[in-house]
Amino acid sequence: MHALTQVLETFVFAEVAEPPSGGGGGGFGMLPLFVIIGFMFYLIILKPDKKRRKQQEQMLTTLKKNDRILTHGGIYGTVVNIHTDAGDITIKVDENSNTRMKITRSSIGQLIKEDEDEGKNA
- Determine the pLDDT at residue 3: 67
The arrangement of strands across the sheet holding 76-83 comes to: 99-104, 88-94, 76-83, 68-71, 108-112
Overall CATH class of domain 64-121: mainly beta
- Give start and end residues of each alpha helix (H) in 1-122: 2-17, 31-41, 47-61, 114-121
What confidence tens digit (pLDDT) does each residue in 3-41 have?
Answer: 666 655 766 565 544 555 555 556 678 888 999 999 999
- Determine the pLDDT at residue 70: 95
Give DSSP secondary structure letters for 42-71: IIIIIHHHHHHHHHHHHHHHT--TT-EEEE
Q: Could you give the 3-state DSSP secondary structure of residue 109?
A: strand
Cβ atoms 102, 89 nearer than 8 A? yes
Q: Which is more confidently placed, 9 or 43?
A: 43
Whole-structure pTM value? 0.59
Domain residue ranges in the chain: 29-62, 64-121
